[in-house]
Amino acid sequence: MQILKIGDRGAETALLQTGLDRAGWPLRRDGIFGSATRRALIGFQRSRALVPDGIFGPKTEAALAPWLRGYAIHIIRPGDTLWRLAARYGSALPALETANPGLDPFDLRPGRRLIVPLPFPVVPTDIPWSSPLTEYAADGLARRYPFLRREVYGQSADGRPLHALSFGEGPRTVLYSAAHHANEWITAPVLMKFAEDALSARAAGDETTEELFSRSAVTLAPVVNPDGVDLVTGALPFGEGGERAEAIAASWPAIPFPSGWKADLRGTDLNLQYPARWEEARRIKFAQGYTRPAPRDYVGPAPLSAPESAALAALTRRTDPALVLSFHTQGRVIYWKFGALEPTGSRALAEAFARLSGYGLADVPYESAFAGYKDWFIQDFGRPGFTVEAGEGVNPLPIGQFGAVYAQVRGILRLAALGLPETTE
């Protein structure tokens, strides 16, 4: 994380507030570093014997890490028992056992490192998303649920890792992606929360979740465009591309900055990058005036020229999924075709998704009908691919909408993994 001090604001300040709040210094997680945040930070620093300067730097971050990632590391000492450790950290025995497979509670060997899950969910759903949050949440989930698989499937144009999370051992593979578009970052916590819900339900032995794990293997790419997300949520360090983006945005005064920004930081729209009649998308967008880097709708110099889109395409080929979901906001609508292409099973799934979410089904408007991720998937794989335009309002949807959005799409996330029961028609 960046160094944070009074007067700062943005997603990283909200993350700091979340950590302090979880650690026992109650705070509003409003993303504004004011005097209350400073007081809480000084209190935390004092409690850890750090210099109480009210500035959040690397040492304070290291001390606060357990409350950012959701677990502590405990080195077993003579006399420790699991029950005593659980009580001391506010943890629960089943959580400790899940996080430390093979641990014998009656034979705790001194010196062994224990992962101690802390008593709150890893994924916060009340603060804007940011790259540090991806790192902490992915780490926290992987440590608390060792059966989660993690990989870095590529790097963004500005060098941020592109994270994928996978779980489940079944033959039906599915791949869900989110936050292609920077100001649609609320879709990232949707996938992260889905992962946490599935993992914790699996650990608790929930039967329908066990079915999901045995039938499916789910891969999530929760933040396709981390550079752009950080720009929109105020988490981008100074000098790391934000100024270049601002210079691009200056020639598009009708698009608010940074809240209207969808592209990567070079001004390429990552969801107009896929080789699915890309030239047609180019013709349409050029006719609309998007002939050069822009906050949105510029198709880029060539298909898959942006590393984020190329990496997702490669991940998709490697995963070879039976289905993909691509999450966007907003409009409460599901797109499920590419031109006249309608892979087997797509219509039935789309109708089921619509029933579960209350969303409408629609054909994509002609000016947006080409070069998207789901278009490419349907064209090249001939299998069901969906764009879900979640929620309703003006992008970026405020995080206060998270609960409603998640409730709407939860059923889609589960059913897409399970697939429809075989029917005889």
Candidate list 12, 196, 308, 389, residue with the active-site label: 389
AA letter at 113: R
- Of 199 and 378, the one with the shorter C-beta distance to Zn ion is 378
Residue 297 CB contacts under 8 Å (≥ 6 apart), including other chains: 262, 269, 272, 285, 288, 290
Q: Which residue is nearest to Zn ion (CB)?
A: 328
H-type helices in 276-335, by residue range? 278-287, 307-319
- Of 89 and 336, the one with the shorter C-beta distance to Zn ion is 336
Could you give phi then psi for residue 368, rounded to 5 degrees? Answer: -120, 20
Could you give phi then psi for residue 329, rounded to 5 degrees? Answer: -130, 150
Report, in Å, the least distance between residue 157 CB and Zn ion. 18
240 as an active site residue: the answer is no
Q: How far apart are the first and last CA of the chain?
A: 55
Q: What is the DSSP string of 350-406?
A: HHHHHHHH--EEEPPPGGG-SS-HHHHHHHHH-S-EEEEEES-SSSSPPGGGHHHHH
Report, in Å, the least distance between residue 357 CB and Zn ion. 17
Beta bridge partners of 172: 216
- Of 66 and 128, the one with the shorter C-beta distance to Zn ion is 128
Site of interaction with Zn ion (CB under 5 A): 181, 184, 328
- Of 266 and 328, the one with the shorter C-beta distance to Zn ion is 328
- On whether the CB atoms of residues 346 and 252 are closer than 8 A, the answer is no
Report, in Å, the least distance between residue 340 CB and Zn ion. 23
Residue 316 CB contacts under 8 Å (≥ 6 apart), including other chains: 175, 324, 377
- Of 85 and 263, the one with the shorter C-beta distance to Zn ion is 263
Report, in Å, the least distance between residue 330 CB and Zn ion. 9
C-alpha to C-alpha distance for 338 and 391, rounded to whole angstroms = 22
Report, in Å, the least distance between residue 326 CB and Zn ion. 9
Catalytic residue numbers, as ranges: 389
